[in-house]
Structure 1
Amino acid sequence: MRVFMAGGTGLIGSRLIAELVGRGDQPVVLTRRASSVRERPEFRQVEVVQGDPTTSGSWQKSVDGCDAVVNLTGHNLFAKRWSPEVKRLIRESRVHSTEHLVSAVEQAKTRPTVFVQGSAVGYYGMTGDEELTESSPAGSDFMAVICREWEDASRSVANAGTRLAIIRTGIVLAKGEGALGVMTPLFKWLPGGAAPVGSGSNPLVPGTGKQWMSWIHLTDIVGLIVLAIDSNEAQGPINGTAPNPVRNIEFSRELARVVHRPFLPIGPPDVMLRTVLGEVAQVVTKGQRVLPARAVELGYRFAFPELAGALHDLLSPASSETSHGASAAS
């Protein structure tokens, strides 16, 4: 298969490319930095296209003849404090890129059969202990609105006869990157030991970590995207989360155990984190209890359904995350 990818040089995209190449597919990667990307060893077997997905251009012609499109574009939420300008970038990098990718599909003479659209569990907003599945409604906070607009921008692709699958990704766990790339060094070196983050209630009281964390191992989010590419039954929203979400305090305790650090039952108050991080702190201090109901229905077998196994695989000295392949549908 020829698979056109936007956002293919990031954490998930790079691992997905390795998976596709390994099974004999031909990724076609859109990037603003084509020259430097071509020099990276992992992209030597990949067709690299110069272009900016937030604007229309000649790159759109490269979608013609591809069997699938995977859209993983989006400005990094944690790159800078959320000023009005950064919020604009967060939105436009997602919505405009999707609009231009859909337009490329519509213009193609030989159209892709499937369009895999990235999204996030932020779609559901902050909902406390409520169990959320793909049928749960959208929230109303900033990230929920962005995710809804992001998804809505992709829906017209179905009018072109292309199957649409939307992956609502949770907190991706990967060795040395993403959430673990930030949390692991902190947990190793914080005086006194590791601690939960977020109170789940009063922003002035010490953090107790009561909020839910809907996480997923990198191997499994890649596996779900591959499933979405391959399975004709994979349509509409699919939650990209492990089947066993945990509260932040459980996550912090297990991470402390794996990195051999003491564990403190309380952490900094939310207001302190907001002072340091700005508005983006809400992504850390609040959460959702998201279940992958659709993935289970489709027969996806999670390589890492439990947090302990996922963290051990990623962080134990003898582990080798890259030895695992994406799980398949049964």
Structure 2
Amino acid sequence: MKKIIITGATGLIGKKLSEELYKSGYQIIVFSRDSKRAKDVLKKDYEYVDWDHRNSSKWADKISDSDVIIHLAGINLFAKRWNDEFKKEIITSRKETTKTLSDVIKSSLNKPKLFISASGVGYYGDGGDEILTEDSPAGNDFLAEVCKVWESEASEVESVGVRRVSIRTGIVLSTEDGALKRMLLPFKLFVGGPIGNGKQWFPWIHIDDIVGIYKFAIENENLSGAVNAASPNICTMKEFAKTLGKVLNRPSLFSVPKFALKFAIGEAGDVVLMGQRVSVDKLLSSGYKFKFENLEVALMDLLKKKRA
């Protein structure tokens, strides 16, 4: 039975991923700043460890005793309006935790075989209509800088022979949290529509597929480095909104203009207005089979589950 440590297990991806891995026979060890709260949230028979990245002496031995580390922890980008202080928190929450994990992995006598760290398609900045592969250059905006720092710290484990996978996640579709949940209410009130001019690429991915990609990375040793994680059939924001309206039997007429979005959430609005036309050829050539490639089918599946 493989032992898998997961940070950020109470988040959108973490909850679903830990449950799926547990069902598959893996032993789950949850690293959390508040292990009691994590146990209350997850309500599963996992091992829970208090995790303070500033004091590794309390949990370093768990690293030596594990097979895989999955690092999902990081402060929510949209928890509050961006200012210099909060932007520093965003970078610090990813850089310092990843660096500490990498350092402990490197110094462990019995090293895990694999370190998977989250990242995002925001790595590329606003890519326009360019097809973006894992070899495409990073952008030069704030979120791109966050992703670069994140991946750089994770890649340090490669120096001691540990396989590293940084999953550049697209926009995860789930009715529990994220972009889809926030878009449902306006559509139900007949005032839904695209954000911005609608021409930006929208690299969506069903929650089941992002979980499947993490599991695939664990079980396929040929996958390493940065990996784009989005549907093979991404679409524009306008196409996404139109399809969501169709599934909900609602019109998609009322776009959210750029100035209104910027007024509502400030600089973070730039992230929503950017687009990334990412290629997932690396993932496909490695053998991953998507469960949901068609947007309409994906949305119908998610919304059916919500009504059930």
Indicate yes or no: 2:253 matched with 1:268.
Answer: no
Question: Helix, strand or coil: the match of 1:295?
Answer: helix
Question: Helix, strand or coil: the match of 2:117?
Answer: strand
Indicate yes or no: 2:288 matched with 1:300.
Answer: yes
Conserved in 1, the CA contact under 8 Å of 2:187 and 2:252? no
User: In the alignment, what sits opposite 1:37?
Assistant: 38
C-alpha distance after superposition, 1:303-327 (max 9, x if no partner): 001111110100136876xxxxxxx
Unaligned runs of 5+ in 1: 200-208, 321-330
1:177-188 to 2 correspondences below 5 Å:
177-188=177-188
Shift of 1:43: 4.0
Conserved in 1, the CA contact under 8 Å of 2:183 and 2:192? no
Question: Helix, strand or coil: the match of 2:59?
Answer: helix
CA distance in 2, matches of 1:150, 1:104: 16
**When the two structures are aligned, how many residues end up with a matched partner?**
307
Which amino acid is 1:61 matched to?
D
C-alpha distance after superposition, 1:97-143 (max 9, x if no partner): 10011112122221100111110000011011111111111111111
Unaligned runs of 5+ in 2: none
Shift of 1:12: 0.4
C-alpha distance after superposition, 1:85-105 (max 9, x if no partner): 110111011111100111121
CA distance in 2, matches of 1:186, 1:280: 20
Which amino acid is 2:193 matched to?
A
Question: Helix, strand or coil: the match of 1:168?
Answer: strand
Which amino acid is 2:223 matched to?
A
Question: Helix, strand or coil: the match of 1:143?
Answer: helix
Which amino acid is 2:24 matched to?
R
Question: Helix, strand or coil: the match of 1:154?
Answer: helix
Conserved in 2, the CA contact under 8 Å of 1:61 and 1:104? no
Which amino acid is 2:107 matched to?
Q
- How has the CA–CA distance of structure 1 residues 29 and 130 changed in structure 2, closer, same or farther, with 3 Å as cutoff? same
For the aligned residue pairs, the C-alpha RMSD in angstroms reads 1.5
Which amino acid is 2:244 matched to?
L
User: In the alignment, what sits opposite 1:162?
Assistant: 162
User: In the alignment, what sits opposite 1:213?
Assistant: 202
1:173-252 to 2 correspondences below 5 Å:
173-189=173-189, 192-199=190-197, 209-252=198-241
Q: Name the structure with the higher helix share.
A: 2
TM-score, normalised by the number of residues in structure 1: 0.89
CA distance in 1, matches of 2:305, 2:224: 39
Match of 2:274 among 277, 286, 306: 286
Indicate yes or no: 2:118 matched with 1:130.
Answer: no
Question: Helix, strand or coil: the match of 1:109?
Answer: coil
User: In the alignment, what sits opposite 1:81?
Assistant: 81
TM-score, normalised by the number of residues in structure 2: 0.96
User: In the alignment, what sits opposite 2:100?
Assistant: 100
Conserved in 2, the CA contact under 8 Å of 1:29 and 1:47? yes
- How has the CA–CA distance of structure 1 residues 101 and 169 changed in structure 2, closer, same or farther, with 3 Å as cutoff? same
